[in-house]
Structure 1
Amino acid sequence: MIITIDGPAGSGKSTTAQGVAERLQFVYLDTGAMYRAVALGFLQADADVTVEAAQHVLPSIEVDVRYQADGRMQVVLNEEDVSEKIRTPEVGAVVSQISTLRPVRDRLVREQRRIGFEQEERHGGVILDGRDTGTVVFPEADLKVFMMADVDERARRRYQEYTEEGKDISLEAVRQEIRDRDQRDRNREIAPLRRADDAVSLDTTEKTIDEQIAFVVDRVKAHRKSGT
């Protein structure tokens, strides 16, 4: 079974996807981490963020994922576990630009489909989260969920994350960051953020993580029961 969870920044996609994967004993595929790995590859090659540079850099970049016995996903770049390295501010500063390059998206969509089908066969199910997993990566997914939340609530969540990480930033700055990201994601030329026509909507503004996980798990059970 393949489940996709899409939505804007701060809507709770990743935490929910990981929780559902754990509950159902599926695996979780973090598509954003794969884009971060490519961004790290660009930085290591000291390459510009352009289509022309991508055509030269991508042949030397091999991105894959590995799963530990506990289901934890490792991100691999050229045979090296870079799960920690891709979380640096330097990578974060360029990944949104990298993800708009068509050669990069075409390459990673192919890889995500390959990994998704492999893990579905091996574990019985895979859960992906992102912005185009239900519209581009797996348009024929068994279950699609589109998560959303009020901008103020999403900003509050992200601000809390930043505070816990020790980052000095104001709530208003985070709110503007969320608005800017929404604008870019919804209006980008390639694979813009949008709700798939057959996706189930989930507004998480006033829901706890446990409630979000339960919502998706219930939809999975209903899908299985219907046999569709």
Structure 2
Amino acid sequence: MIVALDGPAGSGKSTTARRVAERLGWLYLDTGAMYRAVGVAFRDRGLPFTAAAARDLLPALDVRLRPAPDRTRVALDGVDVTDRIRTAQAAEDASRVSKLAPVREAMVALQRTVARETDAGGVVAEGRDVGTVVFPDADVKFFLVADLDARARRRLADFAASDAGGAGSGGDPAAFEKVRAEIAERDRRDESRALAPLRPAPDARRLDTTALSVEDQVDEVLRAVRDR
């Protein structure tokens, strides 16, 4: 069985997907981590964010995911980049590479391979086009949303927890406004891109997480899985 959770940044899809997978004993597939890793590779090599550069880079690039108790570990060419991909810069670069057709094609193929080869019994995948492009026949689909202020607060809390975002304290109004603006801009790019835009699948259930606890979100998804 495949469960697909899509939504914009800060909507709660990553935490919810991870905990649902833990509760079911299934594979948690963080598709966004793959795009972040590719973005890190572009930046490390000083490449322009173009399709031509992607076609040159991707054949020799090795992106691997390894499930771990705390979060998915990500290796790029054999080097663990888990901490590096959880920064504001990595999120920005992921948004830029995700618009490139060669990157999309390579990552979608890899995501399908990972799901097909797992022996976990099921997959809980999260991202921005999981239910529309990667797994259009997923058994259960959700599209998570939340108001912009709530998403900005969550993203600041994530940065503070990782101490990697460079966005400042969660109590700093300037930091909050900066992160809020960055999320709004990413929403605009993700929703307007020609290739696999951010949008709910026609058969996805909409879940507004603004006022929900993580456990409430997890329970909602689990109910849908059990009903299915």
What SS does the corresponding residue of 1:87 show, helix, strand or coil? coil
What SS does the corresponding residue of 1:85 show, helix, strand or coil? coil
What SS does the corresponding residue of 1:56 show, helix, strand or coil? helix
State the shift of 1:163 in Å: 4.5
Q: Which residue identity lines up with residue 156 of structure 2 in the other structure?
A: Y
Q: Which residue identity lines up with residue 82 of structure 2 in the other structure?
A: S
State the shift of 1:88 in Å: 4.6
Q: Which residue identity lines up with residue 14 of structure 2 in the other structure?
A: S
- Are positions 1:194 and 2:199 aligned together? yes
Measure, in 1, the Cα distance between the counterparts of 2:95 and 2:79: 22
Measure, in 2, the Cα distance between the counterparts of 1:152 and 1:89: 17
* Conserved? CA contact 1:4–1:143, under 8 Å: yes
Taking only aligned residues, the RMSD between alpha carbons, in angstroms, comes to 1.9
Q: TM-score, normalised by structure 1?
A: 0.89
Measure, in 1, the Cα distance between the counterparts of 2:149 and 2:72: 31
Question: Are residues 172 and 73 of structure 1, via their aligned partners in 2, closer, same or farther at CA, if it must alter by over 3 Å?
Answer: closer
Question: Are residues 90 and 205 of structure 1, via their aligned partners in 2, closer, same or farther at CA, if it must alter by over 3 Å?
Answer: closer
Pairs within 5 Å for 1:1-228: 1-68=1-68, 70=69, 73-88=72-87, 90-119=89-118, 122-164=119-161, 165=163, 167-168=167-168, 169-223=174-228
State the shift of 1:93 in Å: 4.1
Q: Which residue identity lines up with residue 4 of structure 2 in the other structure?
A: T
Measure, in 2, the Cα distance between the counterparts of 1:73 and 1:171: 27
Measure, in 2, the Cα distance between the counterparts of 1:161 and 1:175: 14
**Which digits, 9 at most, give the CA deviation of each residue in 1:158-198, with x for residues without a partner?**
23334453632432222222221111111111100101011
Q: Larger deviation: 190-199 or 171-180?
A: 171-180
* Conserved? CA contact 1:27–1:71, under 8 Å: no
Q: Which residue identity lines up with residue 114 of structure 1 in the other structure?
A: T
Identity %: 48
Question: Are residues 162 and 90 of structure 1, via their aligned partners in 2, closer, same or farther at CA, if it must alter by over 3 Å?
Answer: closer
**Which digits, 9 at most, give the CA deviation of each residue in 1:82-132, with x for residues without a partner?**
32333355534422211111100111000001101112xx01011111110
* Conserved? CA contact 1:17–1:127, under 8 Å: yes
Q: TM-score, normalised by structure 2?
A: 0.89
What SS does the corresponding residue of 2:137 show, helix, strand or coil? coil
State the shift of 1:64 in Å: 2.1
* Conserved? CA contact 1:45–1:57, under 8 Å: no
Q: Larger deviation: 9-18 or 158-167?
A: 158-167
Q: Larger deviation: 47-56 or 36-45?
A: 36-45
Measure, in 2, the Cα distance between the counterparts of 1:87 and 1:43: 14
Tell me, which stretches of 5 or more residues in structure 2 are unaligned?
A: 169-173
Measure, in 2, the Cα distance between the counterparts of 1:16 and 1:159: 18
